[in-house]
Amino acid sequence: MAFPYMEAVVGFMILMYFFETYLDLRQHTAYKLPTLPKTLEGVISQEKFEKSRAYSLDKSRFHFVHEFVSILMDSAILLFGILPWFWKKSGEFLVLAGLNVENEILHTLAFLAGVMIWSQITDLPFSLYSTFVIEARHGFNKQTLWLFFWDIIKGIFLSVVIGPPIVAAIIVIVQKGGPYLAIYLWGFMFVLSLVMMTLYPVLIAPLFNKFTPLPDGDLRQKIEKLASSLKFPLKKLFVVDGSTRSSHSNAYMYGFFKNKRIVLYDTLIQQCKTEEVVAVIAHELGHWKLNHTMYSFIAVQILTFLQFGGYTLVRNSSDLFRSFGFDTQPVLIGLIIFQHTVIPLQHLVSFALNLVSRSFEFQADAFAKNLGYASELRGGLVKLQEENLSAMNTDPWYSAYHYSHPPLVERLAAIDKSDKKAD
């Protein structure tokens, strides 16, 4: 008797839903706490705390509804054979369009088009409510309904332009890969990631936001001086108009080798003092100097290769395909099914990566502190926490499982601790 793969996958998905809902309930209880953590008393204003608490509770309630609907839909799609039905219907559509249904690339693209339309329709109510009710209610949403839908249209256009060549390449590689299939798939994804990392900031990101050079002045001089002192090969320094969509703030860097760029959200510059912005950049440069970006990239490449290695072991398993309702073995369907069967491992890997990421954040904070930015970084982190209305009270189990960045209380304690050691 064949192993019930599909039932096992659905069972684990439901089990994880209950586990994660339990953690969500613990965090929801933390949001309800009426007082600030002792470390933040006198640091965060009571007004900001109340606003943060209201925002966190609103998002939390919405999250419970969204996750409940998602697990119902995902379970139903698998249990009621929606995927094989969708595959069959996409083949029938090709016949009606006068196209060759035996062409797996065309069949796969028709299937993906249907899936994309379905996901857009089912996700739209949640996106609209999140943006125009929750984010708007708490003063974050800055985009119009027109801009919201225009972003969706641009996203669909990019999927239609970029998706088909990638899907076609993967299918051809799997069909002709032979014993070195995992290596070929990994090599293709490696090159693709490099190409996308190069093209995204230059061609894709500007479709959604306006990037302008940071004007000459005190902030620019201090960032350039800091970058120069660390031998960071800064080529361009941009400000992005994040405020057209949201008042949330951020900063990031990108680029290969000697061609690095730093991007500051205009909201970050508005919300923080010059020295605090420089301290935030010092933290980001810490990630670069300590090779965190490279370590993370290498980890992703290793995990990608291992995933493809696992896929090659099961891709010809007729029992696996039959368990999910398929009597044929299309390449893309095999990848989707394999992703579902390794969900338990993905949860473990995600947890491990979060542990590493939090460690990296502490190291980058310490790096900025050692450059003399302890008080400025402290002020910047507090300001970002306040302005983004981030959660002040966090449940330790929830944050250990979900957070890639340590809670503010822990980061401030680490900075203060290193200060005391220095004294």
Distances in Å between the Cα of 290 and the Cα atoms of 52, 206, 301, 359, 366 are 33, 29, 19, 12, 11
**What are the strands of the beta sheet with 260-265, ordered from one edge?**
211-213, 234-240, 260-265, 251-254
Cα 105 from Cα 103, distance rounded (Å)? 6
Query: Which residue in 307, 291, 303, 422 sits closest to 363, CA to CA?
Result: 291
Is-contact 57 32, C-beta < 8 A?
yes
Q: Is 151 a catalytic residue?
A: no
Q: Which of 104, 135, 276, 365 is catalytic?
A: 365
**Distance set, CA 291 to CA 50, 245, 301, 349 (Å):** 38, 32, 15, 20
| 361 marked ligand binding residue | yes
Is 340 one of the annotated binding-site residues?
A: no
CB atoms within 10 A of CB 315: 19
Of 276, 284, 387, 410, the catalytic one is 284
Integer-rounded Cα Rg, in Å, for the chain is 24
Asked about 387 being catalytic, the answer comes back as no
To the question of whether residue 50 is assigned a binding role by annotation, the answer is no
Handedness of CA 329, 332, 337, 338 (dihedral sign): positive
Q: Which residues are annotated as a binding site?
A: 283, 287, 361
Active site residues: 284, 365
Q: Which residues are annotated as a binding site for Zn(2+)?
A: 283, 287, 361
